[in-house]
Amino acid sequence: MDLWEKFGMSEGIAELWQELGISAGTAIIVLIALYFVIKWAVKNGMMEAYKKIEEKRGRDNLKADKTVSDLETENEDINGKA
């Protein structure tokens, strides 16, 4: 019994894979490896994007803090406290 028949593949697809010289076991291993490579790439891409978002948020917070401290300094100068 051929593995292609066991997995219920149509004859056309089974013939295509056999013509390429790839058995069912090899095809399954390649697909599993491809799944994990894509999963790894997506995970790393998401982590990289998250780091960039956090860096931007940190820069924006520092800019906002600096603006607030500058406004407080100006208010102290105007009121004559400094």
Taking the C-alpha atoms of residue 52 and residue 61, their distance in angstroms, rounded to an integer, is 14
Residue 1's pLDDT band, with cuts at 50, 70 and 90, is very low
Range of the domain at 18: 3-79
Q: Is the pLDDT of residue 41 over 90?
A: yes
Higher pLDDT, 62 or 80: 62
Residue 37's pLDDT band, with cuts at 50, 70 and 90, is very high
Task: Name the pTM for this structure.
Answer: 0.53
Residue 33's pLDDT band, with cuts at 50, 70 and 90, is very high
Taking the C-alpha atoms of residue 63 and residue 60, their distance in angstroms, rounded to an integer, is 5
Indicate the number of domains in the chain: 1
